[in-house]
Amino acid sequence: MEGNYNRVQASTQTSELTHRVFTIMRRKLECHIEELVEECAYYPWEQVLQEVIRLNRMGELRVVYKAGGDYGIRLPRSNLFS
């Protein structure tokens, strides 16, 4: 039974993190990964990074290469005002 609880808890944390990421991104429109990790300080940076990767694969976020080897995150145009 404990395994099921952990999956439900992880799912709830992911949906809370997803909501947090979108709240931040709608306010900023584009930011560095480090900024997003700082604003999601309640979550481990690995979890924030995994969520960014997942949302990027789903097309909900865009990870873009910036000059100097840095990466930025932005919402796709279709998500800017939804």
Provide the CATH number for the domain around residue 61.
Answer: 1.10.10.10
Per-residue model confidence as pLDDT tens digits over 1-41: 444 434 444 444 568 999 999 999 999 889 999 999 999 99
Distance separating alpha carbons of residues 5 and 50, to the nearest angstrom: 21
Whole-number pLDDT of residue 61: 94
Judged against a pLDDT cut of 90, whether residue 54 lies above it is answered with yes
Question: In total, how many domains does the chain have?
Answer: 1
Whole-number pLDDT of residue 2: 46
What percentage of the chain carries pLDDT values higher than 90? 57
Distance separating alpha carbons of residues 45 and 37, to the nearest angstrom: 6
Q: Which structural domain range is residue 10 located in?
A: 2-79
